[in-house]
Chains A and B, each alone.
Chain A
């Protein structure tokens, strides 16, 4: 009897703690989302992924209500990447090549956060970790732990004063670090120059990605029947390829943190069904009639396979 009372007492404490922690963490994430959009800040950011480390100068500027995010590489190939008004423009200084992505999948180079954080609880559990320091600044540490195995766990180190994310990490299902983004120095509140991107296009070879208009999702010639919890259809477009006769259908799915793309095109001669890995990105291809469908994203194998196997042609 005494044991049962003790067990009930423990469970009550756990429930209360979970309920208390989650709203606080959720509130911090909302503050992070707001701070990232509204503050001027700059520093040096180290990006670690697939065993590769890239260090870049980072600038976030606000001018007349517009925001501009800018990266300057410190190592070769020298490049400047600017995100502005939903477009990412990468300028390669040496080759004078510019790649413009008119429909970037993410909203920030630092971290992707869902627009609506209120629905987060359906797929993730928020946990507050011990307080730490990053670049000599005290931070809150929040773990975003998936409730299923269709997505990866994330951890965010949030500056207690500015609520900017000073460090983020993504872990695979085995707990290994897939990706790490960390400020090695940061200055908050200092104005940065707003770069005029049009000037760079003079005398440069410009490549455009996703320049085509967005289409209504129901115009897709396929249906996605298997969607993990919280994944939603974000946009649908048709991409032209070098082969003028071909066009590729592209549907983007996302749960706010993780995103998955579905591509459909006419079956190629060398089309291979099955799983492929491109660094931390997993892809699964399957052939339906004369079409090949490829699902890829930085998610577990299970996710791309699950989504791909649920695709039906209309």
Chain B
């Protein structure tokens, strides 16, 4: 039994389980907290073996991803469309594992000093450059070309009232001719 479970864990980590097996395996994990922590440990070991560095991912992080997948809303679309557009459960799980691995990799890279510049700081620098670059901005009160055309159109064409809706309200906001 143990051998079989170990084999399943191994297949799970290598993403070799088919849909039905994965479903069954995840169902079993839910029932056995020990098995869940064992998988977490194995995942960490796998990462260590791959990257030669040890870091333990926060168990809560993986738990959070699993919870988010569980809370994913269901879209009641026609079956065919849903099949095409919505990733299957095993795909979601693979993505979750990939996300976990990426998270671990980022932490490892930061610790080993591979990336010496803090990415957040880098983004802040770029943002600062963009903000500091002089930009010619039109006066707030000056309508744009598009707004101007819409205002012209409303003044010209009163059948907008019959064809409605979406066009009229923006026009009313953009232009207020004949203001006292």
* Interface residues, chain A, with chain B CB atoms under 8 Å away: 47, 49-50, 52, 54, 56, 71, 73, 76-77, 79, 81, 88, 90, 92, 95, 97, 99, 101-102, 104-106, 109, 207-212, 239-243, 250, 252, 259, 261, 263, 268-272, 276, 278, 281, 283, 294, 296-298
Q: Is B151 engaged at the interface, CB distance under 8 Å to the other chain?
A: yes
A227–B171 Cα gap in the complex (Å)? 29
Given A73-B164, A99-B171, A269-B136, 6 other A-B residues pairs in contact with their CB atoms under 8 A? A54-B165, A208-B176, A211-B177, A243-B139, A263-B152, A278-B150
**Mostly helix, strand, loop or mixed at chain A's interface?**
strand
User: Which A residues are in CB contact (< 8 Å) with B149?
Assistant: 276, 278, 283, 294, 296
A207 touching B152, Cβ below 8 Å = no
Interchain Cβ contacts under 8 Å between A and B, 14 examples: A47-B159, A47-B162, A81-B161, A88-B158, A92-B169, A208-B178, A209-B177, A210-B178, A242-B174, A243-B139, A243-B141, A243-B143, A252-B156, A294-B148
B163 touching A106, Cβ below 8 Å = no
Q: Is B155 engaged at the interface, CB distance under 8 Å to the other chain?
A: yes
Q: Is B122 engaged at the interface, CB distance under 8 Å to the other chain?
A: no
B126-180 at interface with A (beta carbon < 8 Å): 136, 138-139, 141-145, 148-159, 161-165, 168-169, 171-172, 174-180
User: Which A residues are in CB contact (< 8 Å) with B179?
Assistant: 208, 240, 242
A106 touching B159, Cβ below 8 Å = yes
B156 touching A239, Cβ below 8 Å = no
B164 touching A210, Cβ below 8 Å = no
A239 touching B177, Cβ below 8 Å = yes
User: Which B residues are in CB contact (< 8 Å) with A207?
Assistant: 172, 176
User: Which B residues are in CB contact (< 8 Å) with A250?
Assistant: 155
B157 touching A270, Cβ below 8 Å = no
Cβ 8 A contact of B158, one of A104, A269, A281: A104
Residues A211 and B152 in contact in the complex (CB < 8 Å), given A49-B159, A54-B163, A270-B144: no
User: Which A residues are in CB contact (< 8 Å) with B168?
Assistant: 77, 79, 90, 92, 99
B177 touching A296, Cβ below 8 Å = no
CB of A129, distance to nearest CB on chain B (Å) = 25
A242–B155 Cα gap in the complex (Å)? 14
Residues A105 and B157 in contact in the complex (CB < 8 Å), given A268-B148, A294-B152: yes
Residues A54 and B154 in contact in the complex (CB < 8 Å), given A99-B172, A271-B145: no
Residues A77 and B164 in contact in the complex (CB < 8 Å), given A102-B178, A241-B177, A272-B145: yes
- Of listed B149, B171, B177, residue having the most chain A CB within 10 A: B177
CB of B145, distance to nearest CB on chain A (Å) = 5
A81 touching B162, Cβ below 8 Å = yes
User: Which A residues are in CB contact (< 8 Å) with B158?
Assistant: 88, 101, 104-106
A259–B174 Cα gap in the complex (Å)? 23
User: Which A residues are in CB contact (< 8 Å) with B142?
Assistant: 243, 268-269
User: Which B residues are in CB contact (< 8 Å) with A79?
Assistant: 161, 164, 168
B151 touching A241, Cβ below 8 Å = yes
B162 touching A212, Cβ below 8 Å = no
B178 touching A242, Cβ below 8 Å = no
A54 touching B164, Cβ below 8 Å = yes
A163–B139 Cα gap in the complex (Å)? 54
- Of listed B144, B155, B171, B172, residue having the most chain A CB within 10 A: B155
CB of B119, distance to nearest CB on chain A (Å) = 36
A97 touching B161, Cβ below 8 Å = no
A71–B138 Cα gap in the complex (Å)? 40
